[in-house]
Structure formats: structure tokens, C-alpha cells
Amino acid sequence: MPTPEPESSVARAATRNRFADHEPISAATAGSASLLTQTLRIYLEDTDAGGIVYHASWLRFFERARTDWLRALGIEQSSLGPATGIGFVVRDMQIAFLRPGRLDQAIRTELRLAEARRASLLLTQNAFDAASGEELVRATVRIAALRLTDQRAAPLPRTLLAGLATRGALATET
């Protein structure tokens, strides 16, 4: 496979300017590369009396992945609100429980950016058995940026857009 040409400084500057103005953006490689992968073990606290992962535990696993993803992009949620007046909320979520997770099982979670809009991101999140690769849970999650003062939609923080652009996860729409 040929090595891609490096992006010119003019193209990078044009991209930065579009992000700064919060024009529509989209995932450059939607679904093609995981932006965050984590491996974790299922503990007793994550399961019901039968040793099966309780459904709400999957929500916690996915929330932790989103928080760690933001942190990897340079955004600490604890300081985002005080610094910018913006916070994130889950706007919408669809989740499919495909196979049960079990006590002591090692699982791998993956997070991908599917779409970026002016004030929200659509993410896909999956959980797999770490040994077999079998998919256990699949979710799509839309997180929205809100002004904390009035709970109304706000543009995504520039630091988030810059972090995504640096990692090649965003492309401007034509």
C-alpha cells in the first residue's frame, strides 16, 4: 500500500479555519479505524446474581471509554465546564445486547467517531470478547455540547475539534 502524501500547510490552515468557524464536518474514516480501544475484566460488581454482566454495566463501560477518549484529546471534563461554560450530555443512544458478558471475562471495547456536527458527535461503541473477538454489545451514542447556563446547544469546543483533526479523524465536507 502506498504511503499517503503529507498534507500541505495550506490545506492544514484551511482545515483549521473551517473548524474555527464551526462549519459542518464529518468523519474522514468513519468506521475504518478505532479511535480508542480498551481491554478490561468483568468483576463481580458488574454482574447480576447469575454472573452475567448487568445491562447498566455496559453503559458504565462505554461512558468510561468516552471519558478516556476525551481525555486523550486533551479535554478533562471536570475543567471543561468552568473553563468554557460547555458540558457534554448523552442526547440519544441505541444499544443491542448481542451476547452475554460473564464474570472474569476479559473484554475489549472500541470507540469510533461516525459523524461530527456543529454541536454533537455520533459515536459507535462496541464490546468484544477479548479472547475470541466475538461481538457482545453494539451501541450508537450521540453526545451533545450544551451551554451550562441555559442547557441549550453550543458549538463543539475548539480543543476537541483540533484534537480530532490532529488525529486525522475529521475532514471538511465539500
**Contact criterion met (CB below 8 Å) for 102 and 47:** yes
Residue 155, C-alpha cell as written in the block? 458549538
Counting the structural domains of the chain, the total is: 1
The reply to whether 129 belongs to the active site is no
Instruction: Point out the residues of the chain with pLDDT beneath 50.
Output: 1-33, 172-174
Residues of the domain holding 48: 24-172
**Contact criterion met (CB below 8 Å) for 26 and 173:** yes
pLDDT recorded at residue 93 = 97
**pLDDT by residue (tens digit) across 118-167?**
999 999 999 999 999 999 999 999 999 999 999 999 999 888 888 787 77
pLDDT recorded at residue 5 = 43
pLDDT recorded at residue 7 = 40
CATH number of the domain enclosing 32: 3.10.129.10
Please tell me which residue in 21, 48, 68, 104 is annotated as part of the active site: 48
pLDDT recorded at residue 108 = 96
pLDDT recorded at residue 34 = 58
Q: Is residue 84 part of a domain?
A: yes
Q: Is residue 17 part of a domain?
A: no
CA–CA dist 149, 67 (Å, integer) = 22
pLDDT recorded at residue 88 = 93
pTM: 0.75
Q: Is residue 12 part of a domain?
A: no
Q: Is residue 7 part of a domain?
A: no
Percent of the chain with pLDDT over 70: 76
Q: Is residue 16 part of a domain?
A: no
pLDDT recorded at residue 13 = 36
Q: Is residue 2 part of a domain?
A: no
pLDDT recorded at residue 49 = 94
